[in-house]
Amino acid sequence: MKEDQIDKSIKLDTNVTIEKRVDGRVVPVENSQNLTDDQLNSILLQMNISEERINDMLRSQKEFLVSQGGTSVDVETSNVKRYFQSSDGTKHLVTDFNKEKIEDLRQTEMKKLNLESDKSINVTPFAMGSDGSGSFNGRGSLTYMGKSPNAAEFTYAYEDKWSFNQNVTQKFTDKIAHAWQAHTTSIGHSGGYSWYVLNAWGNKTLSYSNGGSVSGRIGSFTQPTGIFSESKGYMADIVRIPVTNVNTTGKWVTKYTHPWTAITPSINIGIISLSIGTFVGDIWEWENTFTIKAY
């Protein structure tokens, strides 16, 4: 294919030279785990990934993207919502208009949990500028990697990133899940989690499952004990979409669960849908859309 032809070689330093295709995609770089952080950052910039986003990435995230190559593509992350799920199974949407009411419910649930567990754990009120257990942020990112060898499918990396900018009080098993359209197929995945304590980043890999579905993935990890100042993670799937869907809307949906107890919620994956089982805790969700085409 013409777009796969090598257009130029770029020497980043005395040890690293990368290649770009005629459409601007960076050719995958082998042994990315052996590159320095500065070398990885330079390659990611060549992939049109912003410096702000690069500075917020995990080391494993950088290695993954560089090993795959391609070019960053604009994606719209929308319908960002936050819920609190109470012990009666009700999912409460948190808005600016009902924050105080939900805050009373959250504090009541925490008191109940403390009595049941004979502990004294506090949850940060909304009024203190927190989303409960640290201020949460989640969003999607997209990388175009080219077409499949037979040119019948576009290849992308669907990536979701989350972070807490302060310590997390409830340290149980969190989950991140995303689901895509019926025409979309995953051919690989990656993910990780990091937390900052004592001037260093700790790192974990995610545990994966899909509940027998081919329409998405679930990543899970146990929050580390002790107090940390911030934490972040990502989960990505390399997916293929038939080129017959060109110029239509590509979409995947994402949910993140943060339980307040050892009861971890089940997540059922459907076609661009995720349903959460009963538990007590926080849920964040968002949608990611883009135009299916070569970039």
First to last CA, the chain: 14
Backbone angles phi, psi at 105, to 5 degrees: -65, -45
| Sheet-wide strand order for 91-93 | 91-93, 76-85, 281-291, 249-259, 173-180, 216-222, 207-209
Average model confidence (pLDDT) across the chain: 91
| Conformational region of residue 288, where left means phi above 0, alpha means psi within -120 to 50, and beta covers everything else | beta
Closest CA to 206 of 159, 239, 241: 159
Give the C-alpha separation, 207 to 164, whole Å: 20
According to the model, what pLDDT value does residue 126 have? 46
Both tokens of 206, joined, read: 């995610």
Contact by Cβ (8 Å): 236, 157: yes
**What is the per-residue pLDDT for 121?**
54
Task: Identify the segments of the chain with pLDDT beneath 70.
Answer: 116-134
Q: What is the pLDDT of residue 99?
A: 83
pLDDT for the residue 84: 92
Is the torsion defined by CA of 103, 108, 113, 115 positive or negative? positive
C-alpha torsion 50→216→284→120, nearest 10 = -110
Distance separating alpha carbons of residues 190 and 213, to the nearest angstrom: 18
CA distances 9 to 36, 39, 69, 138, 246, Å, are: 20, 15, 14, 35, 30
pLDDT value, residue 55: 94
What is the pTM assigned to this prediction? Answer: 0.91
Residues in the chain: 295
Residue 61: its pLDDT value, please? 97
pLDDT of residue 170: 83
What's residue 275's pLDDT?
A: 96
Q: 142-181: per-residue pLDDT in tens?
A: 999 999 999 999 999 999 999 998 888 888 999 999 999 9
107-132 pLDDT tens trace = 888 888 777 655 555 555 444 334 44
Kindly give, in sequence order, each residue whose CB lies less than 8 Å from that of residue 256, ignoring residues fewer than 6 positions away: 136, 138, 162, 174, 175, 176, 177, 283, 284, 285
Backbone angles phi, psi at 198, to 5 degrees: 55, 45
Q: Where are the domains of the chain?
A: 1-72, 74-295
CA-CA distance, 220 to 175, in Å (whole number)? 4
Cβ atoms 139, 206 nearer than 8 A = no
